[in-house]
Structure 1
Amino acid sequence: MNIDISNEHLPVYEALASAVRLKMIQLLAHRPMNIRELAEATELSSAIMTMHVKKLEKAGIIYTDMIPGKAGVQKLCVLDVEKIEIAFPANLSQIKDFHQFDVSVGHYTDFQIEPTCGLATREKIIGEFDEPRYFLDHDRVNASILWFGQGYVEYKIPNFLLSSNKPEELEISMELSSEAPDSNSNWPSDISFYLNNILLGQWTSPGDFADNKGKYTPSWWPSIINQYGLLKFLRVTSTGTYMDGNKISDVTIGDIGIRDKQWTFRVAVNKDSEHVGGATLFGAGFGNYNQDIIFRLYYTKEQKQS
């Protein structure tokens, strides 16, 4: 989660300003728990615990899901963030603008994949599982989830940078996981990222997750397969390329043709990788984050000489 010092994110600060709610976050980091379990662990009543749950839910730190229990329906609380980054105000002259472009996971312009594979919209599965030909189906542009065992999908992205704009940083965010037959939380996969045919770097996904229902995953979706991924932030800067703040290569923003009028972005699982465990891309309407693949190009405006 990325927040700043503004009233918009006040619910987050309010949610964290409580020893009880910090304890709840620590408990939920181990496993999802219902309200009764949280109340017992913190020695509070269920009524008071419900108030604390609402605070964390409003802040987007947890989400709740109604599931069947021994005594009827129960509210299960699930931790929804891995970390929170706070952007403090900078000098106003240094604040960067950005161009943003969102691309749906099904709006790829090229692909070469091998099973296991498949794709689906929010309403239905497209074609059949493990048949790459359905990646050419006319409905694939509406896909909100896709997965493949090996190969790549590739996207074209327009670039609206003006000649007077100085590019500073490219940020690409997406929800990702591995691709195991059915699912497996311990299924590492080396996923590579390319921009304009330049290898930005590689990230190893730890698994393909189905232990909990994805927050936005449709109710009709089978429970034994991909439910959610991890929200990853890939940043290309003047000093290198980073995944969630960790440097993964020395490729800089000056190396990737950042002023080209369009970019080509590829997500790949290469056959010669150490861990060939596939890839799953989640878009809006699937997984734990209601977003597509988001490209943000941060820039500063060059000052005219007087």
Structure 2
Amino acid sequence: MIQANTDEQWLPLYEALASPVRLSIINLLAADMMNVKELAEAIGLSSAIVTMHVRKLEKAGIVHTKMVRKQGGTHKICSLAEHSISIELPNPALDLRKVHDVSVPVGHFTEFEVFPTCGIATVDKMIGQFDDPRFFLEPERMNAGILWFGKGFVEYKVPNYLVAGQRPLALEITLELGSEAPGVNENWPSDIEFSLNGKDIGMWTSPGDYGDVRGRFSPAWWGDRVNQYGLLKVIRIQENGTLIDGQHMSAVSIGEIGLERNFWTFRIEVKEDAVHVGGLTLYGKGFGNYNHDIMFRVFYEDIRGV
């Protein structure tokens, strides 16, 4: 799912949707993968014009393409990269001016226990060797842009910048993640659990480990047949429960997680006894499709003087 809002960064997405031709391409690709020539014939336009439209859809993250050898030639095969788009409009109940934002790099975990397959890398190189959890202790991990493991957890300490008289209304956690299969596998479910300050806030089942095309921000040295991108997930803990991408995840409310502490502890985990033990890949800045680290945003109201 693409989780968009009214920030200007999403203009390419809205521009991509503002075309009858591009909407026709989306409808065709929803039924099956097609190459540019097949799309052009179905729509009644030249391949050059269709290629231009496909590029706009690629830029918006709606369509992805790959070059495939077929029938003695090379074809650009197009398919849908996403199957739904959620647009969050400004919520007057949450004064967007009253927020504290914290971005935590994926390598800044403070506790971990991971099991192979596993690894960690910066935008420049692999840290240590594949499948050796010892390298999760390497000091260079602080610069990591991606990490993955078959089961286990990573845990982060997040500073709390709320001060006396500021009452939290909601906490949003935004991150890009997926499963961890040997190699890549789009059909590799994994039950990923989240907790905050020791309180379980819910579980999400990742559908797979994605590597059919390169991530938009994959470094040039990063291999083609390894984890390339994940799904952007937005967890929101509010007064009436916890949501993920706008859907109910648990009944845990903002008042139950102890946000009055000086720092918060956020854990991401794949348990050994989960129904789907499919591992976890966490994408940060310099990898994946979104080029940002784990983002925490707390909405609050000022109750001083009330």
Q: Which runs of 5+ in 1 are unaligned?
A: none
Which residue number in structure 2 is paired with residue 17 of structure 1? Answer: 18
Whether 1:111 and 2:112 are equivalent positions in the alignment is yes
Aligned length: 302
Match of 1:264 in 2: 265
Aligned residue in 2 for 1:46 = 47
Q: CA deviation at 1:105?
A: 0.9
Contact 1:240 1:252 in 2 (8 A): yes
Corresponding residue of 1:135? 136
TM-score (norm 2): 0.87
Q: For the structure 1 residues 21 and 168, does the alpha-carbon distance in structure 2 shift closer, same or farther, using more than 3 Å as the test? A: same
Distance 2:225 2:9 in 1: 37
User: Relative to 1, partners in 2 of residues 1:139 and 1:31: Cα closer, same or farther, differing over 3 Å?
Assistant: farther
Q: 1:171 to 1:260 in 2, by over 3 A?
A: same
Evaluate the alpha carbon distance shift between residue 98 and residue 105 of structure 1 in structure 2; reply closer, same or farther with a 3 A threshold: same
Change (3 A) 1:261 1:54: same
User: Which residue number corresponds to residue 172 of structure 1?
Assistant: 173
Secondary structure at the residue paired with 1:257?
coil
Q: Is the 8 A contact 2:122 2:145 kept in 1?
A: yes
Q: Structure 2 vs 1, CA of residues 143 and 33 (structure 1 numbering), >3 Å: closer, same or farther?
A: farther
Please tell me the residue identity of whatever aligns with 2:270: V
CA distance in 2, matches of 1:269, 1:89: 33
| Pairwise CA distance, 1:214 | 1.5
Conserved in 2, the CA contact under 8 Å of 1:66 and 1:73? no
Query: Residue type matched to 1:276 in 2?
Result: V
* Residue matched to 2:303: 302
Letter in 2 for 1:2: A
> Residues 143 and 22 of structure 1: is their aligned pair in 2 closer, same or farther, counting only changes over 3 Å?
same
Change (3 A) 1:296 1:272: same
Alignment partner, residue 95 of structure 1: 95
Corresponding position of 2:5: 3
For residues 234 and 220 of structure 1, do their structure 2 counterparts lie closer, same or farther at Cα, with a shift above 3 Å needed?
A: same
Q: 1:28 to 1:123 in 2, by over 3 A?
A: farther
- Cα deviation for residue 88 of structure 1 reads 3.7
Query: For 1:83-138, what per-residue CA distance to the aligned partner results, in whole angstroms no more than 9, with x for missing partners?
Result: 333344555x8533321111111111111111111111111111111111111112
Q: Secondary structure at the match of 1:201?
A: strand
Contact (CA 8 Å) 2:187, 2:207: kept in 1 or not? yes
User: Distance in 1 between the 2:171 and 2:218 partners?
Assistant: 29
CA RMSD of aligned residues (A): 2.7
SS in 2 for 1:116: coil
Identity within the alignment, %: 52
Q: Distance in 2 between matches of 1:266 and 1:190?
A: 14
Which residue matches 1:242? 243
Separation in structure 2 between the aligned mates of residue 177 and residue 243 of structure 1, nearest angstrom:
14
